[in-house]
Amino acid sequence: MTGLTAYGSLHEIAQAKKGEVILVSAAAGAVGQMVGQIAVREGLYVIGSVGDDKKLDFITKQLGFHAGFNYKKENIRDAVQRLAPDGIDIFYDNVGGELLDVALENLNVFGRIVACGAISQYNNKGVEEAYGVKNTGMLIRKRIKWQGFLVFDPNIAKWREQRDKNISEWIADGSFKSIDYVTEGVDNASMANVTISSDDQAGLSPWSQFHPPTNPQMAKADEQKAQGDAKSNLSHSDAKAQGQEAKGQFSDLGQGVRDSVQDALGDAVASLTSEREGQAKDANLHDEGKSR
- pTM of the predicted structure, to 2 decimals: 0.64
Alpha-helical segments (H) within 197-215:
none
Give the span between the Cα atoms of 171 and 163, in whole angstroms. 12
**249 against 158, higher pLDDT:** 158
Assign 177 a pLDDT band (cuts: 50, 70, 90). Answer: confident
CB atoms within 10 A of CB 287: 9
User: What are the angstrom distances between the C-alpha of 193 and each of 119, 180, 207, 221, 268?
Assistant: 13, 14, 8, 23, 80
In this model, does residue 80 exceed pLDDT 90? yes
Q: Which of 64-68, 116-120, 183-187, 272-276 is most confident?
A: 64-68
Assign 210 a pLDDT band (cuts: 50, 70, 90). Answer: very low
Whether residue 80 contacts residue 106, with contact meaning beta carbons closer than 8 Å, is answered with: yes
Assign 213 a pLDDT band (cuts: 50, 70, 90). Answer: very low
**Phi and psi at residue 19, in whole multiples of 5°?**
95, -10
Assign 206 a pLDDT band (cuts: 50, 70, 90). Answer: very low
Assign 250 a pLDDT band (cuts: 50, 70, 90). Answer: very low
Average pLDDT, the chain: 78
**250 against 110, higher pLDDT:** 110
Q: Which of 94-98, 185-189, 287-291 is most confident?
A: 94-98
By three-state DSSP, how is residue 180 classified? strand
Q: According to CATH, what is the number of the domain 1-173?
A: 3.40.50.720
> Which of 25-34, 178-187, 202-211 has the weakest average pLDDT?
202-211
pLDDT tens by residue, 119-134? 877 776 776 667 778 9
Q: Please state, for a pLDDT cut of 90, what percent of the chain lies above it.
A: 50
In this model, does residue 256 exceed pLDDT 70? no
Whether residue 71 contacts residue 49, with contact meaning beta carbons closer than 8 Å, is answered with: yes
In this model, does residue 113 exceed pLDDT 70? yes
